[in-house]
Amino acid sequence: MLQLEPNLIADLVGKDLIAFGTGGLGKIAIPYLAQEPDIKVIGVTNSRVSVVDAGTFLNTGLPIRSLDTWAKQRPDATILLCVVKKNVETSWAACEAAGFRKIMVVPFDLVEMLQTLYNPSFLPTGHPMLYMMCMANELREVHRASFAEFKGCHRGQTVAVVATGPSLNYYSQVKGVPHIGVNASFLKEDIHLDYYFLRHYEPEWTEKLKDYDFVKFFSRVEVTERRVPEDRFPEYVIEENNARRFFPGEPFDEFYTDITSYPLMGGYTVAFQAIQFAIFTRPKRLLLIGCDCARNGHFNGVEMVDSWQPVERYVSKWLSGYQKLKAFAERFYPDMEIISVNPVGLKGLFHDMYTESWLNAYPEWDRLECEIFDPAEFEEQ
């Protein structure tokens, strides 16, 4: 059986779990969880079982009992919802009505891994190995076409990655420095981008993007696009924007030195794809702008909204990704300095610097302990 990566199941360790859901997702996830020595799954249920003893689940040996029965026998247990996103709300309510107070959803990244790699029926062909080989070939061809010409193109320069956290509002663009934006950053009037990454298809954005002449990279995620068809970029949109393609790496989130052959770091935010591209251009200094890594909304006032997992769950994933970035850079690019401008959730991780406008807006911050970010010191001709 597959040995799951510790970080994928960390939230499940130390809990007495009752798996709720015996459909497609449950049939994928529960058998793997049941064989994990660090995971304690004591039984299975769903909304349709109404008897005390309904046998065992697949070949796991786990007893299947009604939700009410489990509530009487193990009211202290944690319900693990192994259901698709559209059924989470009703399943959660049913478990609460039965008396359970500890309820969680099976980790999204675990589901991604199992569905992507270990469920052949999820793949669009009867030959999963052939399909995966074709995908690997496509990734290499796409990434060589998209990225090869940019290898080392900004060697010795400063490069900025522009994300969309509220701290972006306190940054004035440094002249002469290439800026790599993501998502809505291109809409900020006083920011001019040289490169741009977009992970999910947003029709309104792509329509506006046609009027911008920076280099654009749009994602190509075969498995996600099959499950959520509306997330796939139509070919005419790619053509109208003269966009290049890229593959993000979820559920395996790692940095690689050669992005012409490997996927870009996933990390559940497009900022990591932009950052890995920035490193590929070999700057001496990398500025992180608007990379707040916090649940504090966006620069344009749009709030963050929970989707499959609570936003706090994603924030922890983002922080883990930035920690991987730090370790990766220290090992392979010790000649590159990473500067976090107006850090929020990243405070203390990289070289922290603060703009005057930030410190003016937050007088409670001790100026004597804050290094000032002076754009003039980073300007390049």
Residue 47 near residue 67, CB atoms below 8 Å: yes
Whose CA is closest to 162, among 143, 184, 189? 184
Place of tokens 């649940």: 295
Tell me the two tokens of residue 252.
């395996």
Residue 203 token pair: 């029709």
Closest by CA to 224, choosing from 247, 245, 253, 244, is 247
Could you tell me which of 27, 31, 35, 45 has the C-alpha nearest to residue 121?
27
Helix ranges (DSSP H) in the chain: 6-9, 24-34, 67-73, 88-97, 108-117, 128-147, 203-209, 222-227, 235-240, 270-280, 311-332, 356-361
CA distances from 308 to 15, 45, 81, 95, 221 (A): 21, 21, 12, 18, 18
pLDDT tens string, the chain, 381 residues long: the values are: 445 556 667 788 899 999 999 988 888 889 888 888 889 999 999 989 999 999 999 989 999 999 999 999 999 999 999 988 788 889 999 999 999 999 998 887 677 667 655 554 445 555 666 767 787 888 899 999 999 999 999 999 999 999 999 999 999 999 999 999 999 999 999 999 999 999 989 999 999 999 999 999 999 875 554 555 667 899 999 999 999 999 998 766 789 999 999 999 988 899 999 999 999 999 999 999 999 999 888 988 887 665 555 566 678 889 989 999 999 999 999 999 999 999 999 999 999 999 999 999 998 888 888 999 999 898 886
pLDDT of residue 169: 96
* Three-state DSSP class for residue 18: strand
Closest by alpha carbon to 284, among 337, 247, 238? 337
**pLDDT value for 61:** 93
pLDDT computed for residue 301 by the predictor: 83
Cis check: omega of the bond before 251, within 30 degrees of 0: yes
Supply the pLDDT for residue 1: 47
SS (H, E, C) 119-187: CHHHCCCCCHHHHHHHHHHHHHHHHHHHHHHHCCCCCCCEEEEECCCHHHHHCCCCCCCCEEEEHHHHH
Q: What pTM does this model have?
A: 0.74
Number of H helices, E strands in the chain: 12, 12
- Is residue 249 within 8 Å of 266, Cβ to Cβ? yes
